[in-house]
Amino acid sequence: MSYIVPIGPYHPALEEPVHARLHVEGEEIKDAEVFIGYNHRGIEKLAQQKNFIQNLVMVERVCGICSHSHALAYAMACEAIGEIEVPKRGQYIRVIIAELERLHSHYLWLGIALHLIGHDSLFMHSWDDREAIMDILEEITGNRVNYGMVTIGGARRDISDETRKNVLAMLDKIEASMNVIKDMLLADKTVALRTKGVGVLTKEDALRIGAVGPHARASGIPVDVRKDAPYSSYDDFDFDIAVFDTCDVFSRVVIRVLENFESIKIIRQALDLLPKGAINLGYRIPKIKAGEYMVRHEAPRGQLCYKLVTNGTEYTKRVSIHVPTFKNAPTVPVMLRGNSVADAGLIIASIDPCFSCMDR
């Protein structure tokens, strides 16, 4: 007999509201539908009523996990229209914060995924490491969330020699710990039983639907804005695009572990090569002329796009925000088909969804 099983909009496995309607026969999911739009806050409309600095503060609050990504993308669009050149040291500091944010985002997702499959010891292990990253972010920026590190024309705070040493010490600690976590993940039977062959998204389906970020790279697609269209001096650093091709939930776990090692590599290079000089334009308030520009940024969840239209005044005419979850959400019904109802929450969570970003 066929049934419809609703998941959400509120569900213990999901931190934010989304509604999935599962069409099941027995325990098997035959088809699925996903409904979004439960968290709308009108940020794009509000952006038309505020000046550039006010908007920089507001877009950082689109999401608490990838807040730096939103502020950076907005600032880069302003700088492109205003033909503003960001000092090299400011670019490197932006990259350091972006990669620290990627680390803490991946650790967050990894912990949630492990909790959902019932492996609470590894969950606590990964979140203990994430806490060390959050402490360093607080030391650099003064905040654990919404860091306020980006200003139009550069970075708002510098990194001292003492902080630089603390960051490097923290990276050594979490890299050693990540090697332990990686070995445990690859060998653990519980992880294998709950993730291997579950929620498969083939490379063909990922390309057809347009998946981005770690979700696409876990299906064997080597796409990464940092490599495809380098920005903020990313072309100065040596790192690899992490790709894994089992195309299931296990692949999405592994890809984030591999990406953590690449982020650590980038941060170390940025700290070692940190240029001398200014980090921003000083007290000069930049003039943004009339124009429009779209910028791409590789946020922790994938490609984040900001389209900015200005009219020569101090106010923004239009801001359009296109987030990675909006591209990855249509893959969820494809991944759910053929799986059991018990795995539905884990499969939905495996795209690392941010419905706060998507609905904004």
Element (H, E) at 19: strand 19-25
Instruction: Tally DSSP H helices, then E strands, for the chain.
Output: 15, 8
Amino acid identity, position 278:
A
Express each pLDDT in 109-161 by its tens digit: 999 888 888 888 888 989 999 999 999 999 999 998 899 999 999 999 999 99
The closest alpha carbon to 261, from 125, 103, 130, belongs to 103
Q: Is 61 left (phi over 0), alpha (psi -120 to 50) or beta?
A: alpha
Closest residue by Cα to residue 176 from 300, 264, 269: 264
Tell me whether residue 128 is in a domain. yes
The confidence score (pLDDT) of residue 284 equals: 75
Any domain includes 10 = no
pLDDT higher than threshold 90 for residue 80: yes
The overall pTM is greater than 0.85: yes
Q: Per-residue pLDDT tens for 165-215? A: 999 999 999 999 999 989 988 888 888 888 999 999 999 999 999 999 999
Summarize pLDDT for 257-309 with one digit per residue, the tens. 999 999 999 999 999 999 999 999 987 777 899 999 999 999 999 999 999 99
Q: Is residue 2 part of a domain?
A: no
Average pLDDT of the segment spanning 69-73: 96
**Per-residue model confidence (pLDDT) at position 12:** 65
Asked if residue 182 is part of any domain, the answer here is yes
Q: Is residue 20 part of a domain?
A: no
Domain assignment present for residue 4? The answer is no
* CATH number for the domain that contains residue 152: 1.10.645.10
Domain range for 135:
42-355
Asked if the structure places residue 298 within a domain, the reply is: yes
Q: Which of 3, 12, 13, 11 shows the shortest CA–CA distance to 249?
A: 13
pLDDT in tens, 21-42: 889 988 889 998 888 888 888 8
Predicted pLDDT of residue 203: 95
Q: Quickly count: other Cβ atoms within 10 Å of residue 78's Cβ.
A: 24
pLDDT at 1: 64
- Per the structure, the count of domains in the chain is 1
Asked if residue 21 is part of any domain, the answer here is: no
